[in-house]
Structure 1
Amino acid sequence: MKENGKQKTAGLFLVLHVSLLMSSLSGVCSKMAANQKSLIGFALWYGGVLLIMALYALIWQQILKHLPLTVAYANKPVSLIWGMIWGTFIFGEKITWNMILGALIIFGGIYLVVTADE
């Protein structure tokens, strides 16, 4: 029975992190909208932001039904790491050593919060 609970928790964390990935993609759409020259291009990209965030909000509410709020919120900074990845691959931005150190600190903090109950 305990193994089934761990599988369920792992599934919830997977859904949580997929939703955070989606949230980070809204930032990509937002930056793309800001770079548009036409109102139509802006509206399409901004519509993408609204759609992604609406889906994210629905998934987030379901996650909060099953995970403690502190655990769910402790994982939110992962979207910053996704932002670094998107910035590099989509916009050609550079990742610095300070950014990598910050990401490691974020992951360390997430690990401490998630494993605090064990």
Structure 2
Amino acid sequence: MALHRLFHLSSLLRSAVSVTLRRNIGLSAVVFNKARDLDPVQKLFLDKIREYNAKSKTAGGVFEAGPAYQKNLTEEMTKLQRLYGGGDLTKFPQFKFPGMHDIIGLISESAD
């Protein structure tokens, strides 16, 4: 009988502790979020980043890019195209190896 009461008491204690922990974890998450929002420098920094991101999306590129920036960008793109053989620099290059089929044929013949 005492053993039965001990098991019953332990299950009640376990459920009370789990409810308390669950409540404290939920409360600490809310407090942490509020504490994070209280830092004015961090909030201002994130607001400016979000504002710049929104303006860049509406502008369709770099926000507040002047003619000097555009000129520098086109010069650098021209240098890269000349250095890497032209073409579209946003696509992965297609590699062509002449005579590769002959080498693969020789390897497969030697394996047989």
Please give the TM-score of this superposition, normalised by the length of structure 2: 0.29
Higher radius of gyration, 1 or 2 = 2
Please give the TM-score of this superposition, normalised by the length of structure 1: 0.28
In proportion to residue count, which structure has more helix?
A: 1
